[in-house]
Structure 1
Amino acid sequence: MTGPLTSVELFAGGGGMALGTRKAGFEHVGLVEWNKNAAAILRHNATKHPDLWTPDHVHEQDVRLWLQQTDIESDVDLVAGGPPCQPFSLAGVHAGDMDNRNMFPAAIDAVRRFRPRFAVFENVPGLTRPSFAPYFDYIKDQLEKPTVRPKPDELWTEHHARIKKAQPTGLRYVVREHLLEAADFGLAQNRRRVILVAIRTNVPGAETWSAPEPTHSRDALLYDQWVTGDYWTEHGEAMPELPDGLDTRVRDLKEHGRPEKERWQTVRDCIQGLPEPVDRRPATDIANHEGIPGARAYPKHSGSPLDWPAKTIKAGVHGVSGGEAMIRFDDDTLRYFTVREAARLQGFPDDYEFPVARSRSMGAIGNAVAVPLAELLTHGLTQLNSHGIDAR
């Protein structure tokens, strides 16, 4: 094999996973996204940054239909994406495999079609709940043995039983499941996600690959805030009073010393350097940074503390999800995150733009895979591939 590693991005959304895999060294031969606003974001940034992907690579189409029509015949090294998570989200209706938004069957069909060296799929932790666990096992077993196809009108439970008994001699994958916290890898956001990584068994090192180890920690942040005060000094702030409930943990940290990992990043860390947003007035020197009036708290939506990682940025039913889209300051005042601030919380660079309405931009950002996490995971796969090129 010669040339760059290639990828197909499914359910590409606003481009979080695609940006991460591109930074890791993959070149996209197709990005598939049915939502017109998300597809517009992908095409806009393709024009602005030709080194990412081209507008022609963006297919505004249902993944299932695209798989039937695509003429991509070249080798594809990576199939990646975040199948819609609403069927398995704690905030959703919990319909799971019965939800017509369940796109895992299409994701697995793409693996069958392209036979990639690697597949990476991201989803919400709700997929591992006991009520969904049998179906999650079915997803993983399909990835392991994708050549055992479902029969027409076969129940998924019947198909699963056949997969478990089958011993196919052809295409097979080593499948790894990881529950990762984005804050543990330097993102200024508490965002737990399930990552499925499938590596073709004839890729050297497939059996021994594992996800990267966390680089940042909660205790390191607590140490820098409440033991040394370095965090406040860096931001030019006086150390406030220790919040209730932290006395014991801070005392333990004083006794045992600072953890070796880097500290969790906070909202304050993340938005540092951005001008204070003005309501209804776009910033002149940076895109998508306009204040939105009217932020208010309501039950279970109280905003993200300034000096802690943000709550999980979510898409919400109408694009902006309540308290997760607000900053709560020390005096308990609130304001909405601007689109740019939310994008930073997901790891999007400042020159990546969102040329659609705020609600649609926030929806695309909330649905995105965090850029640095996607980069870190898939960079590890490129390193694995560099140890030797397998025969297809």
Structure 2
Amino acid sequence: MERCLRVLELYSGIGGMHHALRESRIDAEVVAAVDVNTIANEVYKHNFPTTPLWPKTIEGITLQELNRLDFDMILMSPPCQPFTRIGLQGDVADPRAKSFLYVLDILPRLERLPKYILLENVKGFEDSSARNVFLQTLEKCGFQYQEFLLSPTCLGIPNSRLRYFLIAKLLPEPFSFQTSSQILTEFPNPEGMCLQERSVPMNLDKDWPFVPAEETKMTSKPSRQYSEQGPFLFKLETPEDAERKKTQNNDISIQMLQVFLEDGAEDLSQYFLPPKSLLRYALLLDIVKPTSRRSTCFTKGYGHYVEGTGSVLQSAEDVEMESVFKLLETLSEEEKLKRLSTLQLRYFTPREIAKLHGFPQEFSFPDKTTVKQRYRLLGNSLNVHIVAKLITALLI
């Protein structure tokens, strides 16, 4: 009988990889989870109380300690700041990349190489020097691998969160599908071809409409005028933005947001946008309804910063958004606020974002974790369903 798969979870955060491992239904045990973030570790321990959790830096783990773990798989999501498009893109020169480089340095020196590796990071990692060093290390150690750029929309989830993934398997054990030197934008299947689970092809531009405000470079001037070719643009967006959102909301292969919303079990009053935010950011908000089939990427600044951190929900579904925004700038602040308030705009709750990210119903935060902390932790997390499918593809 084969032994239970022994898994090392690096940069474990709030346990997204661990939840994905459970969802994959693979007979596996996390023999150690490692993270330096104190608050994330509290959440992890709250959900996985029996898993050995090492609250230390990756560089603080010795080769001897790793050899004693005798693990078969590494799951990891290294810090994304060195590679994100809104950061300084310091790449391998960024101090936050040091721990990942340490992993790559120590991997070839292990007494026994793991059979499987899965890595998640932001879009942009695929163009980094760190990625090149990673691939060179994998090839040196005798791994074959496949890279992906995937968004939750490819699973019918109404949230754009395009991320880089890599799965690697130690030779000579083969993959169950034909690998490619290209970065795939679809999930693989055992027949050898890469097929989308949706009924329509995935388009990266369509599935990644959101670019944080700090890095947006307008190619056409935003407008709020009537157009014979397109809809009335009531916010600061381009005609292309408006048309893309309309197309997304008409895509019936994507679930409606209402599937992921709270059922009234939580007091939602604390999540409504304050008057100051309504007045200052009204024209910049990405507003969705429960019947919408899209939402933008939720970042760690969600709930604290308004612009470019994620969609907000229009609770008053029967109110016409166009009528609210029409000639809005001509009104006094009092009239403007009165009209905007009819939309009943609120932030998505941490529980709702966790559901969009694929965390199971039993996932929870310790009571002492603040709402702001929950948003930050979720913004740094990953989509559980995507990782679960990639684990399955890696092991079958």
Residue 122 of structure 1: CA displacement? 0.7
Q: Deviations over 1:114-153 (max 9, x none)?
A: 5111101011112234xx3x443232112221xxxxxxxx
Aligned match of 1:6: 6
- For structure 2, which runs of at least 5 residues remain unmatched after alignment? 181-186, 189-194, 203-229, 233-238, 322-342
Which residue type is aligned with residue 312 of structure 1? Answer: C
Change (3 A) 1:358 1:100: same
1:62 paired residue number: 57
Structure 1, residues 18-42: CA drift from partner, whole Å, max 9, x if none?
2102222232111111100000001
**AA in 2 matched with 1:379:** T
Q: Is the 8 A contact 2:148 2:166 kept in 1?
A: yes
Q: Distance in 2 between matches of 1:105 and 1:319?
A: 32
Match of 1:188 in 2: 158
Q: Does the CA-based 8 Å contact 2:262-2:352 persist in structure 1?
A: no
In structure 1, how many angstroms separate the alpha carbons of the residues matched to 2:296 and 2:43? Answer: 24
Given residue 158 of structure 2, which amino acid in structure 1 is its aligned partner? A
Shift, 1:243, TM fit: 5.6
SS of the aligned residue for 2:167 comes to strand
**TM-score, normalization by structure 2:** 0.68
Per-residue Cα deviation, 1:56-76 (whole angstroms, up to 9, x for no partner): x11111111124563652542
Separation (CA, whole Å) in 1 of partners of 2:93 and 2:282: 30
Q: Equivalent residue for 2:347? A: 336
Task: Single out whichever of 102-111 and 29-38 deviates more from structure 2.
Answer: 102-111
State the distance in 1 between where 2:375 and 2:243 align.
38
- Superposed CA deviations along residues 194-221 of structure 1, whole A, max 9, x for unmatched, are 111111112134783574332136789x
- How many residues align? The count is 311
Q: 2:80 aligns with which of 80, 85, 99?
A: 85
Partners of 2:259 and 2:313 lie apart in 1 by 14
Unpaired runs of at least 5, structure 1: 48-53, 146-170, 221-241, 253-257, 281-290, 384-392
Which residue of 139, 157, 162 corresponds with 1:144?
A: 139
Q: d(CA) in 1 for partners of 2:6 and 2:305? A: 33
Distance 1:299 1:116 in 2: 51
| CA deviation string 1:127-180 (max 9, x = no partner) | 234xx3x443232112221xxxxxxxxxxxxxxxxxxxxxxxxx4101211111
Q: Which amino acid letter does the alignment assign opposite residue 31 of structure 1? A: A
The alignment status of 1:375 with 2:365, answered yes or no, reads no
Distance in 2 (alpha carbons) for counterparts of 1:31 and 1:300: 43
- When the two structures are superposed, what TM-score results if normalisation uses the length of structure 1? 0.69
Q: CA 1:243/1:379 → structure 2, altered by over 3 Å: closer, same or farther? A: farther
8 Å CA contact retained: 2:303, 2:347: no
SS at match of 1:88: coil
Question: Which residue of the partner structure matches residue 114 of structure 2?
Answer: 116
Tell me, in whole angstroms, the C-alpha distance in 2 between the residues paired with 1:40 and 1:376. Answer: 27
Secondary structure of 2:61's counterpart equals helix
Change (3 A) 1:88 1:299: farther
- Pairing partner for 1:366 from 351, 364, 379: 379
1:272 offset after TM fit, Å? 6.1
Q: Which amino acid aligns with 1:374?
A: V
The structural deviation recorded for 1:334 is 2.4
> Does the aligned pair in 2 maintain the 1:7–1:30 contact within 8 Å?
yes
Aligned identity (percent) is 25
> Structure 1: how far apart are the matches of 2:304 and 2:7?
28
